[in-house]
Structure 1
Amino acid sequence: MRTDLKIVQWLFCALVAAFTVPVVAEVQARRPNVVVFLSDDQGWGDLSSSGNTDLETPNIDSLATAGASFDRFYVCPVCSPTRAEFLTGRHHAYSGVYSTSAGGERMDLDEVTIGDLFKAEGYRTGAFGKWHNGMQYPYHPNGRGFDEFYGFCSGHWGNYFDPMFERNGRIVRGRGFCIDDFTDNAIAFMEKSVDQKKPFFAYLPYNTPHSPMQVPERFWKRFSDRPLQFKNEQQPNKEIQSHKRSALAMCENLDWNVGRVLEKLDTLGIADDTIVVWFHDNGPNGTRWNGGMKGKKGSTDEGGVRSPLYVRWPHAIKPGTKIPEITSARDLLPTLCELADISFETEKSLDGVSLKPLLIGNSEGWPDRILINHWKDKISARSQQFRLDNQGKLFDMIADPGQRKDVSKEHLDVVASLVEKVTVHREAHMAGYFVDDRPFVIAHPDSILTQLPARDAVAHGGIERSNRYPNCSYFKNWKNTDDKITFVAEVATTGKYKVVLYYAAKQAGADCTLRFNDASLRFQIAEAHDVPERGAENDRHPRAESYVKDFRPVGIGEIDLRKGKGELTLRATAIPGAEAMEFRMLTLERVSLE
């Protein structure tokens, strides 16, 4: 009897396993991976799917034909706010983002990101490209839910070929053209995730066609001198051909890299189980064709904030789905979470809503919405039919998509409704919008290395920035011992830290001191490092931002830092030559904790 019972038990268990294992495997197979592409300064009109036949973007276009395309999807007028709204599902004014540099691009630390949510559910999370929402941990992507990060945290970068990047906080040298390099690393991340049988969330925040206008030769050759047909309809005389041609070439390079990712998903056999998203962070960074819309980057008009949104997921989204309802970058967090069956209930309320009903063809009962587009002191409101611009003018966006005729007198009730929404938003946020008392966090216990670039510092005396745009700048003209460089900082953990200085100098010998509260470190610029600026050799169009140099990293000693707030100060106490040095960055590497 016991033998018979064991046989019965064995058969029962075998039957359970036979039915259960395939079911579990099927559920795991259906758990979607996510790939999010975000381009930088690419206008709505910079795709062939938008009707622009001056360029070819078949891979990006395929996401629309094989999935869903949103006709009226809105982002912010500039980079960092859009990234913050995607990452948090909340309006950027809630999260502390008010600038694109010098700390104003950081999201408050109590914000929960889409990386946090997917990571908590067992996803491998990676970001590859331009972060632009904080550098020092825990503002760093590794502190915001991303296991892997490769790229740069600044708002723009000074050279796109073999540049200085970072990998999980460590300084590394990039390989080749940056967009190709980011894609290589993202693909390797996807391959490793598949090998480990884990779902992945891959975020590719690309940094082109943002200036400097650099692109590999084979893409530039297609645009360098051939005739172009499409011109800006409202301001054709303001087009600059070298800039326009560079941007279009960079967009074709983006498309080529998207194609590489899509091909890899096919090769790995996971295309059907991967959600792929494509959108842009703001309007075009120059005057070029943009569907006849008013405005470009920096503007809260339609042309400054309208972006394509394509979402492909063969498992659930019908090919060729077209969605006319107005939507926002803030909607992507709840949408992707719901599609992946991930809870997005947080202590803070979301401004975005899940777009899943629209994606699966169920628009019944979809609410009327008013979306606020805001940057600095400019606020615009968009309903399904109308836009109230920053000056209080009203435009019927269906009859007049170019915003040429003010119809406010004909629709006083609409004006009143939109003005009320703008007023509520302004009163809720503008009083403290530019107030920022957050120090730069250094020496955090969860990060071995802290970067302190010139971008985040304040220069005193005669010291000058290499450019008025701080993001990838350095300091020069350091001629007097009364001059100094300071960082408003907070040491998160008491300990000993190795300090590395990135510098250039025509002459050695300057005596310097680094001080934080009672701690100090004296050192000397022992060797000259006189190097030229780089970048112009790769520019297809003259840049507005700073050029860069091959700054030399040198260890200058160790400093004992105690937990607390203060001012990190760098001084030159003796300058034997004409200039102490040119300053690019300090790094602090933890040696020991107290």
Structure 2
Amino acid sequence: MQLFVVTLVLTVVIFAECVVTKQPNIVFFLADDLGWNDVGFHGSQQVKTPFIDSLAKSGIILNNYYTASMCTPSRASLMSGRYPFRVGLQNFVIDSGERKGIPLEFKLMPEYLNKLGYESHMVGKWHLGSFQKNYTPTYRGFESFYGYYYGSNDYYDHQRTVYTDDGSHQLWWGLDWHLDINQKMSNVYSDFGNYSSHAFADRACNLIKNHDFDSKPIFMYVAFQNVHTASFMDNLQVPRESEDLFPNIWHKWRRKYLGMVYELDLAIEKIFKSLQSKGILDNTIIIFSSDNGGAVDGFGDNWADNFPLRASKSYYYEGGVRSSAFVWGNLFKNRSGQIAQNLMHITDWLPTLVDFAGGNSTELSTNDIDGISMSKILTNQSAPSPRDELPLNINSMTDLKAIRYKNFKYLLNPNDFGDESYSGWYKAPGTYPDRNETMEPDTMPAQIWCGDIPKGIDFSCYSVITGLNECLYDIENDPCEYNNLVDNPNYLDVKQMLLEKLEKWEKLALPPQNPPFDQSGDPKMQGYIWQPWTDNPDLPNYPCSTKKHEPLKI
């Protein structure tokens, strides 16, 4: 009998040690230009995001989470795990006629995950290079891509119509809607009239329906168009029934914007239900993030709400770079319903997901990535916070520098346009032309509230001592960036410490990609299709190699 018991115990122990945790499916939702206060879980009284809020509140809300201030730099950091100035994409976005992209020597997120046995698919907006085919999604690790290559598009006819920024002010237009599978590239003409978030949700649901989850896990990156502007001809586009849900908002464009946020919520719910019907939710990680803060008060013809955070998209004040984000899934059940205040950056997703996928992020050297794995802190609240330093960006073309260390943040020339036009605080339009949205303090646990905007304070980012456009904030105690401490004698040592840290990072920065305008990028030369226009993968006047990297061992 004793022998039997010992044998049974040993059998159980051996069996337990041999059980391999099944790799989780990973679904990453990226919103475009979503304002900090454009989700219910941050306290907005205007928006309708019931499903996003339900996921956020039952997952972990990431309330100290940062991105870059614009589309391309943020997406480059997400996919590469490197700061934007470490891939040469720190200056503005990839625009028409520009031969720019993440250098081919850098490995991207789907390639890491594929090495671990995943099948990777992308749906939505790319905006990381398409002048040559090797820069497009299916040549960077995704098995399939359905969506558009550039930064903006019509939500219904999927045409991109822009004036060029080269000084000639040419009107370029054409279809930017593609289905690329296993590096076979094709253009899609049959989706005319299909609202983009509907089309993206349908594509994601079909991928889920047809995937064999018993053979391998899936990584699905869904980068929505909502709530970016469409074009200068029709800025904000939404089905009428969704706009009509906000009759109490007097401002036409704010109503449309709110309808677009609601459509985002519906699309995410539809994809979630597809995962549910497949029976795989118990083994799925869901991540939600915006790519940057919202474009406020008509900036870029958009009407987001970052209040009470300061400024707009494209600025390195909190409103431009502190973004809405959360994680959801059984993997985080020990922290379900919590609000994480740990400092986190969009680069951190790559090593974090490598860990969750069964890899070992510690084997990724700083030569490979800048991100820091958050896997321990997301699954165990008592784990030490792994990040206390965050160089947000360094851009030698505009002399922009931004860094956060612990609770302090230093900014020099803190925007991508060289002026302070949208550097204040902007409440969204409310029920009447003379009444903006009201905010009630302490309505949501994740809400930031700094009280009324102080009167009689100089809000400029300027130092009398140096004559430079620089500012220093104690973000933990002043998240709304009311009080510039840059000339305060009590904080001169803090400023010096941050400047020394920036100097270290400047030595590691690549120069901003700044190629000459290429007329060959005009889509009319490609049959009025926005697609690769050259066979030459070289990044003009750039020191990076265009040789494809060797597979990285994990």
TM > 0.5 between the two? yes
Offset at residue 436 of structure 1 (A): 4.5
Partner letter of residue 392 of structure 2?
A: N
Partner deviation per Cα, 1:152-172 (whole Å, 9 max, x = no partner): 111111343465411102011
Q: What do residues 325-382 of structure 1 show as CA deviations (whole Å, max 9, x unaligned)?
A: 1110000001111011124445733211111121112444434522122264322111
- 8 Å CA contact retained: 2:37, 2:306: yes
Q: For residues 144 and 411 of structure 1, what CA distance do their matches in structure 2 show?
A: 45
Higher Cα Rg: structure 1 or 2? 1
Shift of 1:23: 9.9
Match of 2:527 in 1: 502
Report what 1:166 is aligned to. 178
More displaced, 295-304 or 59-68? Answer: 59-68
1:113 match = 108
Q: From 276, 279, 301, give the equivalent of 2:286.
A: 276
Contact 2:377 2:384 in 1 (8 A): no
Aligned alpha-carbon RMSD (Å): 3.0
Matched, 1:142 2:118: no
Please say if residues 294 and 305 of structure 2, whose CA atoms lie closer than 8 Å, have aligned partners that are also in contact. no
- Given that residues 190 and 202 in structure 1 are in contact (C-alpha distance below 8 angstroms), is that contact kept between their aligned partners in structure 2? no
C-alpha distance 392-424 of structure 1, shift in aligned 2 (>3 A): farther
Counterpart of 1:188 in 2: which secondary structure? helix
Q: Deviations over 1:468-494 (max 9, x none)?
A: xx9xx767xxxxxxxxxxxxxxxxxxx
CA–CA distance in structure 2, aligned partners of residues 564 and 267 of structure 1: 43
AA paired with 1:361? N
Q: Alignment partner for residue 157 of structure 1, among 134, 147, 153?
A: 153
Q: In structure 2, what residue type is equivalent to 1:370? A: E
Q: Distance in 2 between matches of 1:552 and 1:433?
A: 24
Q: Answer whether contact 2:331 2:379 (CA < 8 A) is retained.
A: no
Give the residue type in structure 1 aligned to 2:357. A
- Among candidates 224, 227, 249, match of residue 206 of structure 1: 224
Offset at residue 94 of structure 1 (A): 1.4
Q: Show the counterpart of 1:458.
A: 519
Query: Residue 372 of structure 2: which of 353, 362, 385 is its match?
Result: 353
The answer for unaligned runs of 5 or more in structure 2 is: 1-10, 160-174, 231-235, 298-303, 413-468, 541-554
Q: What pairs with 1:256-335 in structure 2 (closer than 5 Å)?
A: 256-287=266-297, 288-318=304-334, 319-335=336-352
Within the candidate set 80, 88, 98, 1:88 is matched to: 80
Q: Displacement, 1:290?
A: 1.6
Q: Distance in 2 between matches of 1:552 and 1:266?
A: 36
Distance 1:189 1:563, change over 3 A: closer
2:450: which partner in 1? none
> Could you give the per-residue CA deviations for residues 488-516 of structure 1, whole angstroms, max 9, x where no partner exists?
xxxxxxxxxxxx8415xxxxxxxxxxxxx
Residue 426 of structure 1: how far off its partner (Å): 3.4
- Say yes or no: does 1:220 pair with 2:243: yes
For the residues of structure 1 that align with 2:333 and 2:277, how far apart are their CA atoms? Answer: 21
CA distance in 1 between partners of 2:229 and 2:380 (Å):
39
1:372 corresponds to which of 391, 401, 405: 391
Aligned to 1:417: 497
Please give the residue correspondences for 1:114-133 in structure 2 after superposition, counting only pairs within 5 Å: 114-133=109-128
Gap regions ≥5 residues in structure 1: 1-15, 229-240, 438-455, 460-469, 476-499, 504-550, 554-560, 568-594
Query: Quick check: 289-298 or 252-261, which moved more?
Result: 289-298
Q: Deviation digits for residues 206-238 of structure 1, max 9, x if unmatched?
A: 112111211112211113x4237xxxxxxxxxx
Counterpart-to-counterpart distance in 1, 2:243 and 2:33 = 18
What is aligned with 1:383? 405
**Paired residue type of 1:221:** D
CA contact (8 A) 2:116 2:358 kept: no
> Per-residue CA shift, 1:79-129, capped at 9, x if unaligned?
011111111111122123243224365100011111001112221110000
Where does residue 537 of structure 1 map in the other structure?
none
Distance in 2 (CA, whole Å) between partners of 1:346 and 1:360 is 21
Give CA deviations for 1:17-39 in whole Å, capped at 9, x if unaligned: xx98x999x747x3100000001
Is the partner of 1:132 in helix, strand or coil? coil
SS of the residue aligned with 1:275?
A: strand
Aligned-pair CA distance for 1:566: 13
Preserved CA contact (<8 Å) 1:244 1:286: no
In the alignment, residue 52 of structure 1 is paired with which amino acid?
Answer: S
Residue 11 of structure 1: aligned partner: none
| TM-score normalised over the length of structure 2 | 0.71
Distance 2:401 2:536 in 1: 40
Partner secondary structure for residue 420 of structure 1: helix
Contact 1:68 1:317 in 2 (8 A): no
Larger strand proportion of the pair: 1
Q: 1:421 to 1:37 in 2, by over 3 A?
A: same
Q: Is the 8 A contact 1:130 1:207 kept in 2?
A: yes
Instruction: Give the 4+ runs in structure 1 shifted more than 6 A.
Output: 561-567
Q: Is the 8 A contact 1:33 1:201 kept in 2?
A: yes
Which has the higher mean CA deviation after the structures are superposed, 162-171 or 253-262?
A: 162-171
Q: Could you say if the C-alpha distance between residues 565 and 55 of structure 1 is closer, same or farther in structure 2, counting changes exceeding 3 Å?
A: closer
- TM-score of the pair, normalised by structure 1: 0.66
Are the equivalent residues in 1 in contact too, given 2:60–2:332 (CA < 8 A)? no
Q: 1:402 corresponds to which residue?
A: 480
- How far did 1:66 drift? 1.8
* Superposition pairs of residues 468-479 of structure 1, within 5 angstroms: none
More off after superposition, 287-296 vs 48-57: 287-296
What is the aligned partner in structure 2 of residue 243 from structure 1?
253
| Alignment partner, residue 392 of structure 1 | 470
Match of 1:61, as an amino acid? D
Q: Deviations over 1:407-442 (max 9, x none)?
A: 231312211111222233334437x224559xxxxx
Q: 1:146 to 1:434 in 2, by over 3 A?
A: closer
CA 1:362–1:180 in structure 2 vs 1: closer, same or farther (change >3 Å)?
A: same
User: Which stretch of the first structure deviates more once superposed, 70-79 or 206-215?
Assistant: 206-215
Cα distance in structure 1, aligned partners of 2:41 and 2:536: 54
Quickly say closer, same or farther: Cα 1:114–1:415, change in 2 above 3 A.
same
| Contact 2:374 2:386 (8 Å CA) reproduced | no
Q: Deviations over 1:545-586 (max 9, x none)?
A: xxxxxx899xxxxxxx9999899xxxxxxxxxxxxxxxxxxx
CA distance in 1, matches of 2:145, 2:404: 35
The reply to whether residue 70 of structure 1 matches residue 62 of structure 2 is yes
Partner of 2:29: 37
Structure 1 equivalent of residue 435 of structure 2: none
Tell me, yes or no, if the aligned pair for 2:394 and 2:506 is still in contact at 8 Å.
Answer: no
Alpha-carbon distance between aligned partners in 2 of 1:562 and 1:307, rounded to the nearest angstrom: 37
Tell me: higher relative CO, structure 1 or 2? Use CA pairs within 8 A at least 6 residues apart: 2
CA-CA distance at 1:58 after TM superposition: 1.6
Q: Alignment partner of 1:311: what SS? A: strand
Residues 268 and 564 of structure 1: CA distance in aligned 2, closer, same or farther (over 3 Å): closer
In the superposition, relative to structure 1, how do residues 112 and 317 fare at CA in structure 2: closer, same or farther (>3 Å)? farther
User: Partner amino acid for 1:421?
Assistant: K
**Structure 2 counterpart SS, 1:350:** coil
What aligned pairs does 1:92-107 form with structure 2 within 5 A after superposition? 92-97=84-89, 98=91, 99-101=93-95, 102-103=97-98, 105-107=100-102
- Where does residue 162 of structure 2 map in the other structure? none
Say how many residue pairs are matched.
Answer: 425
Quick one: which amino acid aligns to residue 411 of structure 1?
Y
Is the 2:197–2:224 Cα contact (8 Å) retained in structure 1? yes
Q: What's 1:58 paired with?
A: 50
C-alpha distance in structure 1 between counterparts of 2:128 and 2:307, whole Å = 30
Which sits farther off after the overlay, 388-397 or 111-120? 388-397
Q: Percent identical across equivalent pairs?
A: 26
